[in-house]
Amino acid sequence: MSVPAVVSRDEWLVAWKELLAKEKRLTRERDALNADRRRLPMVEIEKEYVFDGAEGKASLLDLFEGRRQLIIYHLMWLYDRDLACPSCSAFVDQIGHLAHLNATDGRKSGRSRRAARPHSERQREVPACATTMNTTIS
């Protein structure tokens, strides 16, 4: 691994200001891209999705629980180890407190396409995964 050059404070300040200008330009471009994404048109979902969860069968609309937004994270299931993918679990572990999502009329749900409900419910017992878990039926 190469090590950056050692320079004077004045030289470092010039280089840092150049980098800061690049970072700010990139931030503005990312903000513009995110705004474009939010303006994308919507597509009506016509397929009747059915999920199996702790409360039994539920439609996609049911998962919203009357809220305006729904975030679904797809967890892959490792049958040979009888648990959710470690990388998926690590991602879910990093999701912060849901009070902010709840305050913006949102809801979070986990799903696994192939995990049987006992598997997905067992994964829910992990404290960081304390979310509604559903298995796609159709």
Looking at residue 91, what is its pLDDT? 83
- Least confident residue range of 36-40, 51-55, 77-81, 130-134: 130-134
Per-residue DSSP letter, 105? T
Inside any domain, residue 62: yes
Answer yes or no: do 29 and 70 share one domain: no
Q: What is the DSSP string of 35-55?
A: HHHHTSPP----S--EEEETT
Answer yes or no: do 33 and 97 share one domain: no
Answer yes or no: do 35 and 11 share one domain: yes
Answer yes or no: do 91 and 65 share one domain: yes
Highest mean pLDDT among 12-21, 107-116, 122-131: 12-21
Answer yes or no: do 111 and 67 share one domain: yes
129 pLDDT band, cuts 50/70/90, is: very low
Closest CA to 53 of 126, 124, 128, 129: 124
Q: Are 77 and 84 in contact (CB under 8 A)?
A: yes
Inside any domain, residue 85: yes
d(CA 127, CA 93): 9
Looking at residue 108, what is its pLDDT? 63
Which backbone phi and psi does 81 adopt, to 5 degrees? -110, -5
In this structure, the number of other CB atoms found within 10 A of the CB of residue 133 comes to: 25
Answer yes or no: do 75 and 118 share one domain: yes
Expressed as residue numbers, the domain containing 78 is: 50-136
Query: Total domain count for the chain?
Result: 2
69 pLDDT band, cuts 50/70/90, is: confident
Answer yes or no: do 61 and 118 share one domain: yes
